[in-house]
A and B are shown apart, each in its own frame.
Chain A
Amino acid sequence: MKKHFRNGVWFLLLFPILTFAQQTPEPLINSTLTGTIIDSRAKTPLDGATVHIKGTTHEVLTDSKGKFSFRTGQKLPFTLLINYVGYQPLEIIVNDPVVTITLQESQTQLNEVVVVGYGTQRKSDISGSVASVPKNVLSQPTASFDNLLQGAVSGVSVTQSSGQPGSTATIRVRGGNSISFGNDPLYVIDGFIVYNNNSYTNSGATSGATVNALSTINPSDIESIEVLKDASATAIYGSRGANGVVLITTKRGKKGRDEISYSGYYGVQQATNKKKLLNASQWASLVNDINISDNVPKTYTDSAIAALGEGYDWQSAGLRDGAIQNHELSFSGGDDKTRYLVSGNYFNQEGIVLNTGFKRYSGRVNYERNLSDRFKISVNIFGSSSTQDETSNANGPAFATLLQTVPLVPIKNADGSYNTNNPYISVPTNPLQDITATTNRSYITRTLGNFSAEYKILQDLKLKISAGADLINTKQNYYAPSYTTAGYTPQGYGSVGNIKATTWLNENTLTYDHIFGNDHFLNVIVGYTTQSGNDESSVASAQKFPNDLTTYNSLGSASTPLLASSNAHSWTLNSWLARASYSYKHKYNATISARADGSSVLGTNNKWGYFPSIGLSWNISEEDFLKSNNTISNLKLRLSAGQTGNSGVPPYSSLSTLAPVNYYFGNPLTLVTGIAPTQLANPDLKWETTTQYNAGIDLSIIRNRVNFSVDAYYKKTTDLLLNVPFPVYTGYVNIVKNVGSVENKGFEFSINSENIKTQNFVWRSTLVFAKNLNKVLSLGPGILNFFPTAPIGQQSPVIVQTGLPVGTFWGYTTDGLLTGEDIAKGTPLLTGVPQQEGDRKYVPINGHTSVTNADKHELGNAQPKFTFGFSNNISWKKFDLSFLLQGSYGNKIFNQYQQLLEKPTLSLNASATLLDRWSASNPNGTVPRATNSPVPQIIDRYVEDGSYLRLKNISLGYSLPQSVLSRIRIKQVRVYVSAQNLFTITSYTGFDPEVNFYDGDNTKQGIDMGLYPSVKNFTAGLNVTF
């Protein structure tokens, strides 16, 4: 069946080739016309304006000098229709064969067109909340476009999971709706719906942070990004619209002359900061203090301590200056019938930690052709090949482990080889060698192709059919040689993994766009779409390699194969959609949309969900009483309400599935397979519903020089797809059920202003601000709270509890250290651990006389009180300067890495904060006395303020003047230097306040495991257009 579908797609894809055989007959010539089109103020030529002779199909484009020319069968005079983006359209009667026509810049933005779901809409008619990412933000150096959203759009928060090149980012549009499943926005790339699934790039063969599937997309291909935020805008995406929709439009050829562009940059990256650790003599003193607590003789004499000195700096040994470079070559152009763009890209980012990095080759072809004036086809094909090298988490995060290495231990031997004689670890290995010698690599090949055909059945009625596929192939390799920590015990450990993931999409829409009379604008779209996906994965691993020569490429040479695993899933989503937009004189606008989604992953009783929305807007400035107002150039009120969904559970979540497990019988023992239940059937499993209300005001003053946009919203998500705790006596710990609810409410605004505009000097600023309040309203009957699963040997620092935001930290409040006086007067002590003077003083709650688990309570949460971004563009003559300040306020981070570093032990290095530990000679110390491996409790000390202000990007450019360019026959040359993360103002003590170790898990936000240091970079770049 699927095969038929693919045949259909191939047919459609081949179809345009059949139609190229058209020939153009010679026309009759009655007159010629040449002209120039220029800007009314600057008198500069306008390149690429369309000039159309009214009443004919004749249309030409201006060239780079603003010139156009007709040879036509028409006779003078005739009427020209001239259009140019950002300028008022002009209808002009021409009598002379040579003309100069001036175009006026659009005074209002009303005629601007904005990309919305399944089409475009005039900005003036929009009722929903739609934000565009500013152009200059799109040119930042980055591996993955999701980073570009940071600080650029109000209501979108972006948190990089770590500084690892190609790592994931947590993107939230107006807060997280779901607790257990799916909080990522839906991405739509040139109309192709991509629900980003990082499991398509993570087979489980490698060890480390999740590979970001979005990093396979080349950010420099992107022309524009729109973010749909409220229900009126997103309901057309139905069961996948609840988390917002990010619409990405890639660059395409423009009518006009063929262009060749090169853009590239090269730069260096450095760690923004390092952890302050103990040096050798400081660590030896710590050991002595532990000895005192243990009541055993001191290990080091005072003179020995002094002789140790600084010791060895393992942290710095693991870091390097990493190069980052990007090269992009594109060919684009078009004529009346055809537009094309072909581009190739090479991106290479070395990680600042040794043996890490991300590299990508990609290519794109965007092609569009009008086969007739009724029929247009287009093809967008993108392919990329990415390679990511990561630090491994096999023995704890590798970089974090490096920092914990005792500074007494030399890094290398005299002969330059790695020193493996480390008396403080269990196996004779070297943590730096672990980083350099371990292979932990992912190769991702992605092809995303989409074909569409548009046919105008009537002048106002358009049929569009598109079909496309997104193919992701991932291969992952892991090898820990026998001389590394992870490979020592198994005598070499190798693993390979493969994933093949395919998504097919077919969309069929009918659009009716008509103006009734002069005042009634109606746009109706109806459609049927179907999307299906399947993924297949396998992992094979082996250990006990006879040598480290063939590694993961010859698992067969290992003597102990491990149980191989493979998996497969498939899913289908069938949808009907409809939207009607009506505008009366662009003054009163209404949009109604609805989508019905049938999803295979939901229970048999609830496959179909229905998602309606309504949006109303009123362009008050179009009313007579404001029309002549000189201050207010645009004032619009928007109101919307609607329901969207989330069905982000994996396939088969509603079925009672069984899975294989193992046991041994026999002599000798041999493996047997058991089949065990994994979940109970839930035929009622359905989508989450988010009901959202939005009210917004857009205001533009002083001829649109200052634009305000304010939105307030309330979202309530009900029937949560919640992985709820279940009474364990049933044999099931959790089940996925539709229970509970979460609310998000907030407001956001953006100010966009042209502060100064003169002939030579222009300064534009954009300020975005967003505040979101998240709260768990209910977790279903009988459940007040639950703790997300913590790794073995750890306690969960987070709780999910009714009445609190998701991502709330849960632990003890402390009050400095216990004094002798405290002990004497019977201050409540922590049970389970003998406590004495100089130990941490835990504070009981509710008047308890001792401190137990029951005294843990809320310690703040990972949700920011607000986020903001402030971007500026300044141009002076041919110089341009832009910068983006961005930040977050009020979010807390659980600095689990600092907790680890503040644990005094006899075998690991520790944080320099331990220098101020309590001891008999330092009774006013702020850190507890040194004891051997105390229990790492979840305490307020490690719940740190994660607020920050960061200069995310600053860039200074210079464009060669026209006079020079015309001499060297180049259209445009711009050189620039830029820096990212130049400074960050924060009180957070970890590497970077922008951190999220468990990025895929919404319940464990804001936890820092010291995975990777944060990075700043300096780049120099060149853009040339021929």
Chain B
Amino acid sequence: MKTIFIKKSINKRRLITALIITSILGTVTILESCNKLVEDPTSVVVSTQFYKTQSDAIAAVNAVYNTLNASPGDFPMYGRQLNLLTDNASDNHNFSPSNTNPDVRAMGTVTYVSSNGRILKNWQQHYFGINRANIAIDNIALIDASQFSNAALKDRLINEAKFIRGLLYFNLVRLFGDVPLALHNPTSTDLRSIQVPRTSKDSVYAQIIQDLKDATNLPKSYSGSDIGRITSGAAHSLLAKVYVTRRQWSNALTELQAVLNGGYNYALIPNFKDVFQKATKNGVEHIFSVQFNGNGGEANSVQYLSSSFTSFNTGTFPIDIISDSSVVKIFADDDTRKAVTFYTTQYNPANGQTVVFNNPYTPYLNKFVDYSVTPLNSQNLSSINFPVIRFAEILLLQAEVLNEINGGPTAEAYTAINQVRHRANVPELTKGLNQAAFRDSVFLERRKEFIQEGQRWFDLVRKGGNSLVDALHKIAAKSAASPKDTLFPIPLTEIQLNPLLKQNPGWE
């Protein structure tokens, strides 16, 4: 049992009261004045703080390059995403049994529809890069020249961004035809104010050519820590390819001559295998490559094309496979490109055994397998660059352009194509071909040379006529191909959000 007595202590109470009131007032006042609602982030940069210095400008341009090799949580644009359209949807590749995504499989069988997620991803990744280029171009221009260590650097950075913008629009205009031409970061989040129609192909090309012409002011080469950046040679080369695509043959020739005679010293790497090796990356043949590095540990540099080898276990399948044996049969047996392009065996250094892969999907694709990694089946650590333009293509473009300009192949045209053939250890091209036959030979050479390099679908469309559909119909799995396939559908959600966009013919 407890008994409690309470006696008030007046003095104590006063003291307490005084203390409380003081502390209340103190606390409230402090809180009122301190807990401001304005956000002042310390972990992220806000755009108003940025684009002020040289290093900001460099970082802004690096971010543009980043869109070429990285897309967190998805395939990188160069390194698989684009290949799903330009190779899987061509007569070179098909889907692999390891592809679980129906959208990926639909690319292989040319049964994709406008809601295909892989088409949307390509559209998205290209415009990501374009937007970053737009931001870099617009904002670097506003940075005071005094911020830069040398006067040329500011222009160089802008022109690097312009090249990538040009490259990405060039891809888009070939994949989709007319596309929205965005040249600035949006200033509004209001849907209505940013809905735009498609810009005509001609206007898009005009912008591409302008951007690439500006990029021809870039340095001829880089040294040290800048190797891998875009050169004026790359700009001339891509410009040549744009003109070829536009069938502006003499403009194309001018650009090709700038590449060939401009003192760049581009050449073919003697051994075709070394075009796709870590140790020989950024060599004399590589005019512009997307850089991959597997040893930095960064998860964002994953070269998925290297996953055409993933296991010594014959029960598992690589990420991409050939369409059928016809793509292998185009090669002569002693064509050195054949063994570089395909494999049927893998030597396992861990146990000294050689595994033979023999099933309806073999041979498997080989170019991007990184033989420098250990263990060999950890191919997500691949360091194989993706060549966007290499010198072999310049030679083949030269052969093609000369053939078109002169109504038939010239000796120079033969020399150009035969350089590529020499390296591949195949005989010189038959003399005396007419224009059409020579043209076919160039396209066939391009197919052999560039398997897995994101060229085939573009080439088939560029060749014109029914080339694409005819080629696809030769593959049993691609019987669904039809003339509408010469352009990919504008992604469905993009049209839903922006009804001013009209769908491509046949895809409505």
| Chain A residues within 8 Å of B, Cβ to Cβ | 1-2, 4-5, 8-9, 11-12, 15, 18-19, 22, 24-25, 27, 57-61, 63, 67-71, 294, 296, 335-337, 371-375, 423-427, 453, 455, 463, 465, 467, 488-490, 506, 508, 528, 530, 532, 541-543, 560-563, 566-570, 572, 574, 598-601, 604, 607, 651-652, 654-659, 661-667, 669-678, 680-682, 725-733, 735, 737, 780-784, 786, 789, 791-795, 831-834, 852-854, 906-907, 932-933, 935-937
Contact = CB atoms under 8 A, between A and B. Distances in A.
Contacts, number: 370
Interface string B428-441: 00000000000000
Interface in B39-94: 39, 41-48, 50, 56, 58-66, 69-70, 73-75
Interface in B267-312: 282, 291-293, 295-301, 310-312
Interface stretch (B122-130, B332-340, B446-454, B462-470): B122-130
Given A63-B1, A560-B297, A425 B9 contact: no
B291 A665 contact: yes
A832 B478 CA distance: 9
Contacts of A782: 191, 195, 496-499
Contact of A424 (B6, B24, B131, B313): B313
Interface residues of B, number: 133
Interface stretch (B12-20, B404-412, B414-422): B12-20
Contacts of A652: 39, 41, 44, 46
A71 B2 CA distance: 10
B370 to A, nearest CB: 13
List the 3 closest pairs (A to B, CB-CB), nearest first. Answer: A731-B131, A674-B63, A674-B62
Nearest to A566: B43
B28 interface: yes
B261 interface: no
Nearest to A601: B39
Given A658-B44, A793-B101, A561 B301 contact: no
A375 B499 CA distance: 67
5 contacts: A375-B16, A574-B37, A662-B70, A666-B225, A834-B477
B472 interface: no
Contacts of B265: none
A663 B62 contact: yes
Nearest to B24: A465
Contacts of B228: 664-667, 669
Contacts of B28: 508, 528
Interface of B: 1-9, 12-13, 16-17, 19-20, 23-24, 26-28, 30-39, 41-48, 50, 56, 58-66, 69-70, 73-75, 97-106, 109, 111-113, 115-117, 120, 123-124, 127-128, 130-132, 134-135, 179-180, 182, 185-186, 189, 191-192, 194-196, 224-229, 282, 291-293, 295-301, 310-313, 315-317, 359-360, 375, 377-378, 380-381, 383, 477, 480, 491, 493-494, 496-499
Given A336-B2, A372-B12, A563-B298, 18 more contacts: A5-B31, A373-B8, A563-B296, A574-B35, A661-B300, A663-B65, A667-B228, A671-B293, A672-B62, A673-B59, A731-B128, A792-B101, A795-B102, A832-B106, A832-B109, A933-B97, A933-B98, A937-B102
Majority-rule SS of B interface residues: loop
B141 to A, nearest CB: 17
A489 B306 CA distance: 14
A506 B34 CA distance: 13
Nearest to B44: A657
Nearest to B495: A727
Contacts of A22: 9, 12
Contact of B66 (A9, A654, A674, A795): A674
Give the interface centre of B35, B185, B229, B298 by most chain A CB atoms within 10 Å.
Answer: B35
Nearest to A372: B13
A5 B30 contact: yes
A564 to B, nearest CB: 10
B379 to A, nearest CB: 9
Contacts of A677: 47, 131-132, 135, 185
B380 A569 contact: no
Contacts of A658: 44-47, 50
B177 to A, nearest CB: 14
Given A15-B23, A673-B62, A833-B109, A728 B296 contact: no
Contact of A675 (B60, B194, B291, B383): B60
Contact of B494 (A598, A661, A728): A728
A22 B13 CA distance: 10
B5 A732 contact: no
Contact of A729 (B24, B69, B104, B182): B182
A728 B4 contact: no
A499 B438 CA distance: 66
Contacts of A780: 191
A782 B47 CA distance: 28
Contact of B6 (A337, A725, A732, A834): A337
B172 to A, nearest CB: 9
Given A600-B39, A666-B224, A833-B105, A681 B47 contact: yes
Contacts of A907: 313, 315-316
B293 A664 contact: yes
Nearest to A455: B20
A735 B179 CA distance: 22
A12 B23 contact: yes
Contacts of A670: 225
B49 to A, nearest CB: 9
A987 B127 CA distance: 47
B41 A936 contact: no
A374 B17 CA distance: 10
Contacts of B296: 563, 662, 664, 669, 671
A716 B373 CA distance: 57
B297 A563 contact: yes
A376 to B, nearest CB: 11
Contacts of A294: 360
A506 B31 contact: yes
A572 B36 contact: yes
A729 B64 CA distance: 15
Contacts of B312: 426
Contacts of B3: 60, 69-71
Contact of A935 (B16, B19, B100): B100
B46 A657 contact: yes
B33 A1 contact: yes
A735 B5 contact: no
Given A832-B106, A852-B113, A792 B191 contact: no
B7 A27 contact: yes
Contacts of B112: 832
Nearest to B75: A792
B126 to A, nearest CB: 9
Contact of B70 (A567, A570, A661): A661
Contact of B45 (A654, A657, A737, A906): A657
Contacts of B120: 728
Contacts of A68: 1
A666 B182 CA distance: 31
Contact of B113 (A489, A655, A727, A853): A853
A543 B180 CA distance: 44
A950 to B, nearest CB: 34
B165 to A, nearest CB: 11
Contacts of B282: 667
A226 B128 CA distance: 49
Nearest to B222: A665
A598 B23 contact: no
A587 B82 CA distance: 73
B199 to A, nearest CB: 10
Contacts of B2: 60-61, 335-336
Contact of A784 (B62, B359, B496): B496
B76 to A, nearest CB: 11
B480 A831 contact: yes
B45 A562 contact: no
A374 B61 CA distance: 67
